[in-house]
Structure 1
Amino acid sequence: MAHALDKRKLVDHEAPNKSTGIVNGQSSNVLNWDDTRYSWAYPMYKNMLANFWIPNEINMGNDLKQWKQLTDQEQETFKKIIGLLAFLDSIQTDYSGKIADYLTDSSLSALMQVLAFQEVVHNQSYSYVLSTLVDQHEQENIFEYWKYDDILIERNKFITDGYEAFLEEPTVENFLISIVYDVVLEGLFFYAGFAFFYNLARNGKMVSTSTMINYINRDEQIHVSLFARIFNETLNENPEIDRARFHRFVEETFEKAAELEIKWAHHIIGDSFPGIPINDLEDYIYFMANKRCKLLGANKPFEGYSENPLKWLRAYQEVDEGKSDFFEQKSRQYTKVSEDNGFDEL
């Protein structure tokens, strides 16, 4: 039996400021960060604010000089990954806004609004990078890749079908299902592409672009944590829902998602990129799928794969955990673009 999902009221004079639940709860909709239901909400909000960045702060001058030095294959892969990211972050902006309508906790609704803003910034970064490297016509073509690349279409449909089911029938069950697809999107489907950019950076190529990718990666890690908390708390608050069934769904979904990400990895990287052995990248994808399932309270769908096989990626993982800044360990420019060093100087 499906459980209906009610939208949050704009204001409820009879309800407490501190909500009574994530969904179908009571809340006045007045936000007091010192009086919230979930103790982790405010620290997460502060963390999201502390990570604030805008693309125009990053000087793309060196990347522009290096762009023509990349191989044709590197350029093509670069553009395909940007095309994928632009599509996924675009629908993510809209999805996060729609799901916020059903969050009856005002602090979580606020976090979702910040998340949506960050996705807009991510999309700005893709436009910013491409406007630096290619002409307007080619940029427009790259933003159309999702329409005619068969592998992109298959991957994207996997996500959008899960989102559309929630939008068409907003039940608690479809709410939870859509969150699983969100964690696939933000916690797995970006990762072969991220590895490509990080591999360029560790070889001293396109470091400014990779810096932006790293900041996006850092944001997405917080987003994954937020959605995982919402998923787990919703299951806790609704004991009538079959928890075991949803955990099986998580495992099955990530099994399919990992195969799609591996198929994409072969499509964009294959066997010919030095520093990214395709077998290791496959193992890395299985490792990340296991990690995300564990975060959602499910069993690992892939036996083994408990360690990251791409050891050199640890530097970037440590950035996500706030331990260090990989890019500060290397020579890079990070200056705000101004009238003195703007596009006219590139």
Structure 2
Amino acid sequence: MAYTSVNWNVEEDEFDEYVWDKATAQFWLDTRVPVSNDRGDWRTLTDSEKGVINKVVGGLALLDTLQSEEGVNVMREDARTRKEVGVINDFLMMESIHAKSYGTILSTLNDQKTIDDTFHWMNNDPRMQYKVRRINEIYQNGNNLEKKVASVFLEGILYYSNFFTPLWYRGNNKLANLSEVIKLVIRDESVHGTYLGYKFQQAFAELTPDEQTRFRAWMDDLLADLLENEFAFTEVVYAPIQMVEDVKQFVRYNANKAMNNMGFAAIFNHAAIEDINPIVMNGISTETANHDFFSQVGAGYLMGNAEAMSDEDYDF
């Protein structure tokens, strides 16, 4: 049988091309964001603050390594269209860039011993390892729908407890370049979660009502398990800077967003999440451009321009 070329002039699903255009327009590299300019702010932080930031950045490095090496790859196997494979390939590249970016942050701001200690922690912390084992087990053995749910939960919920701190410091006019990297990542993950949620909805609609009920029960059990672990992780990591409850509220907020991406109602009522830290929410809503699916390349990132960013670059 002859191998045929993908024809981008033939429309299979118009959303594939739309996401391709958005995702490729947002391409960026960590080498264009001068994290070294944050060293002055870094020296003003307490050891506890530095420890929390290193752990959340290190945690993101581990989670994005999983996503770049396993998570995005397995989505390709269940692609509904050939253009979807191209979109997934773009996602895979960006997840590798994300994973590298976290290493850039750690190596720029820390001495070698601290870097080694952080990598040792992320590779051995029981809560971190529980997340990656639980998600990767689904990537390796789950069906089409289960893998998409695992990916949406990872990128849409488990990442966000780690995103909280950089956004908080940016709102307090510190670590502007570190947070710029994080906000570029958030913008990418917004696209990934929306797209995979859309593809999930297409496949979920093909199940019978009984199959949908059984699947929803499985999904709810998975979410409850992941959230229990995430809240326990939060209690340990954020206790030194007294932000445990703020982060938990932020995780609940993003759990609702993840469920919405897959076509389901929010699981936490508005009263349970109404007290999201306004500094962090402002960072989420403005990030590089806008924290939504339709955002473009960030104001602080210029392809081919390696000059340091000034304060004016962050006036949105």
TM-score (norm 2): 0.84
Give the Cα separation in 1 of the matches to 2:12 and 2:156. 26
In the other structure, the counterpart of 1:310 is 277
Residue correspondence of structure 1 range 200-219 to structure 2 within 5 A: 200-219=169-188
Give the partner amino acid of 1:310. N
Cα deviation digits, residues 37-71 of structure 1 (max 9, x gap): 21211111111011111111111232122222211
Shift of the alpha carbon at 1:35? 1.6
Which of 133, 152, 156 is residue 183 of structure 1 equivalent to? 152
In the other structure, the counterpart of 2:248 is 282
In the other structure, the counterpart of 1:51 is 26
Cα deviation digits, residues 290-334 of structure 1 (max 9, x gap): 221232233433344465723331442342227889x96xxx898
Shift of the alpha carbon at 1:230? 1.6
Residue correspondence of structure 1 range 1-346 to structure 2 within 5 A: 13=2, 30-95=5-70, 96-166=72-142, 174-239=143-208, 242-270=211-239, 272-273=241-242, 276=243, 278-304=244-270, 305=272, 307=274, 309-312=276-279, 313-318=281-286, 319-321=290-292, 336-337=305-306
Select the structure with the greater relative contact order (CA < 8 A; seq sep ≥ 6): 2
Greater shift, 297-306 or 144-153, is seen at 297-306
Give the Cα separation in 2 of the matches to 1:241 and 1:97. 30
Alignment check: 8 A CA contact 2:252 2:268 kept: yes
Call closer, same or farther: CA 1:160–1:322 in 2, change over 3 Å.
closer
Give the partner amino acid of 1:146. M
Alignment check: 8 A CA contact 1:188 1:261 kept: no
Shift of the alpha carbon at 1:73? 0.7
Shift of the alpha carbon at 1:270? 2.3
Shift of the alpha carbon at 1:137? 4.5
3-state SS in 2 of match to 1:226: helix
Call closer, same or farther: CA 1:31–1:136 in 2, change over 3 Å.
farther
Give the Cα separation in 1 of the matches to 2:226 and 2:209. 28
Give the partner amino acid of 1:301. I
Q: Which runs of 5+ in 1 are unaligned?
A: 1-11, 14-27, 167-173, 342-346
Shift of the alpha carbon at 1:241? 7.7
Greater shift, 145-154 or 72-81, is seen at 145-154
Alignment check: 8 A CA contact 2:171 2:282 kept: no
Give the partner amino acid of 1:145. W
Give the Cα separation in 2 of the matches to 1:333 and 1:182. 27
Call closer, same or farther: CA 1:270–1:121 in 2, change over 3 Å.
same
Percent identity over the alignment? Answer: 21
User: Which has the larger share of helix?
Assistant: 2
Alignment check: 8 A CA contact 2:139 2:150 kept: yes
3-state SS in 2 of match to 1:63: helix
Q: Supply the RMSD in Å over aligned alpha carbons.
A: 2.9
Alignment check: 8 A CA contact 1:290 1:300 kept: yes
Give the Cα separation in 2 of the matches to 1:137 and 1:280. 30
TM-score (norm 1): 0.77
Number of equivalenced pairs: 301
Cα deviation digits, residues 173-231 of structure 1 (max 9, x gap): x2211211111110001112111111111112211000000000110111111211121
Call closer, same or farther: CA 1:50–1:42 in 2, change over 3 Å.
same
Shift of the alpha carbon at 1:104? 4.8
